[in-house]
Amino acid sequence: MIQGISGSTALAGVLGDPVRHSLSPAMHNAALAELGLDWAYLALPVAPADLATVVRALEALDCRGLSVTLPHKHAVAALAAELTPLARRIGAVNTLVRRPEGGWLGTNTDMEGFLAPLREEGAGAEGWQGRTALVLGCGGSARAVVAGLVELGLERIQVAGRREAALAAFLESCREWAPELEAVAWGEDGVAGVLGTALETAVAASDLVVNTTPVGMARGGDPGASDACPLTAAELERLAAGATVYDLIYVPRPTALLRQAAARGCRTVDGLEMLVQQGAASLRLWSDLAEVPVAAMRRGALAQLVG
């Protein structure tokens, strides 16, 4: 809850369309209260046609920082005065930071958010080096995931896509910084027999499986969506006990994929921690603070989820 708003309260927020469902206000306002910052973080619904006008207006209003979510992560990059190398590599911006000289710096904290739980799990001398990962999906979220996996130093990264052209384009767009990516065939109508190995084979060989698709996400008015799973029963059977399965979805908790992976003895991670950690990374950039209250952000997001 936002409290103590006055004439000196500064604004931060998240741009999206729609954005009413966002957990970011609960998450960030919990952190701002604990830090004692006189800021308010709001959900700001913005239609694509109005994006440029709103971004310029928020700079003029001395907005302290902006999160950016769908469908604006690509379009907002053109409105930034400067992009970080990571934002250029991923091809999307999820955070706008005020520059001292004016204008917005566009960056992307999704990779940092994705990596946080994996770094904790893989802490040790070797970490994730020498291991194999499988990424399900080849959309926008998959780019941040692949960039993170390259950062972790995995030996082998496979990407599964249902459409041959989309998968080939995705791999080609990553070639400059991830030249060893491998294509994986997925589905009867997709790339089976055209590109890569079969999905069952890739699942069996993977130490880490990451779902970047929306399959399994709970949607209003569709009670069956939460039972959907991106892997078939035959593919799930190939999961190795002890492998890590990471689903970027966090509603429902757990997803069908994570329920079934846990039943096979796999370690599981959902997307809530990625959301919290990418938000914490953004807040550090906006506030210029080395540490922000991640636990408070996690509690705020959880309270909104169950509220």
Q: Is residue 1 part of a domain?
A: no
Calculate mean pLDDT across residues 217-236: 77
Mean pLDDT taken over the chain: 91
* pLDDT on residue 235: 95
User: Which three-class secondary structure state does DSSP give residue 181?
Assistant: coil
Report the candidate in 155, 167, 255 with the shortest Cα–Cα distance to residue 207.
Answer: 155
pLDDT of residue 221: 44
Domain count, the chain: 2
Regarding whether 248 and 124 lie in a shared domain, the answer is yes
Local structure of 182: helix, strand or coil: strand
Rounded to whole angstroms, the maximal C-alpha distance in the chain is: 64
- Are 210 and 289 members of one domain? no
pLDDT at 190: 43
Mean pLDDT of 201-208: 96
- Interior angle at CA 15, CA 13 and CA 112, nearest 5: 80
Q: How far apart are CA 153 and CA 156, in angstroms?
A: 9
**CA angle, 82 as apex, 60 and 139 as ends, to 5°?**
105
128 and 250 both lie in a single domain: yes
pLDDT tens, position by position, 263-303: 999 999 999 999 999 999 999 999 999 999 999 999 999 99
**Residue 96, C-beta contacts closer than 8 angstroms, at least 6 positions apart:** 55, 65, 66, 68, 76, 80, 104, 105, 106
Residue found under tokens 């992976």: 261
Q: Does 153 reside within a domain? A: yes
Least confident of 14-18, 24-28, 222-226: 222-226
The residue from 73, 89, 98, 298 that is catalytic is 73
d(CA 191, CA 193): 6
Given a contact cutoff of 8 angstroms between Cβ atoms, the answer to whether 130 and 122 are in contact is no
Which range among 3-7, 105-109, 194-198 has the greatest average pLDDT? 105-109
Sheet holding 182-185, edge to edge: 197-198, 182-185, 156-161, 132-136, 208-211, 244-247, 267-269
Claim to verify: residue 256 and residue 294 sit in the same structural domain: no
4 domain residue, yes or no: no
Band of residue 120 on the pLDDT scale cut at 50, 70, 90 = confident
Among this protein's residues, is 73 annotated catalytic? yes
149-197 confidence digits (pLDDT tens): 999 999 999 999 999 899 999 999 999 999 999 999 887 544 444 455 7
- Does a structural domain hold residue 158? yes
The two counts, helices (H) then strands (E), for the chain are 11, 13
Task: Check whether the bond before 71 is cis (ω within 30° of 0).
Answer: yes
Tell me if 154 is assigned to some domain.
yes
Contact indicator for 79, 55 with CB cutoff of 8 Å: yes
Instruction: Tell whether 44 and 129 lie within a shared domain.
Output: no
Q: Are both 210 and 283 inside the same structural domain?
A: no
Q: Which residues pair with 132 in a beta bridge?
A: 156
CATH number at residue 151: 3.40.50.720
Interatomic CA distance for residues 229 and 250, integer angstroms: 14
Residue 61 shares a structural domain with residue 129: no
Task: Tell me the C-alpha distance between 304 and 289, whole Å.
Answer: 25
Task: Determine the angle formed by the axes of helices 110-121 and 140-152, rounding to 10 degrees.
Answer: 40
Task: Residue 28: give its domain's CATH number.
Answer: 3.40.50.10860
- In this prediction the pTM is 0.91
Q: What is the mean pLDDT of residues 11-30?
A: 96
pLDDT at 65: 98
Same domain as 97, residue 45: yes
One domain, residues 130 and 247: yes
The answer on 293 and 255 residing in a single domain is: no
pLDDT tier at 35 (50, 70, 90 boundaries)? very high
What's the pLDDT band for 218 if we cut at 50, 70, 90?
confident
- CA distance linking residue 145 with residue 170, whole number of Å: 13
Q: What is the pLDDT of residue 73?
A: 96
Backbone angles phi, psi at 214, to 5 degrees: -85, 5
Q: Which domain holds residue 225?
A: 112-269
H/E element, 121:
helix 110-121
According to DSSP, residue 259 is labeled H
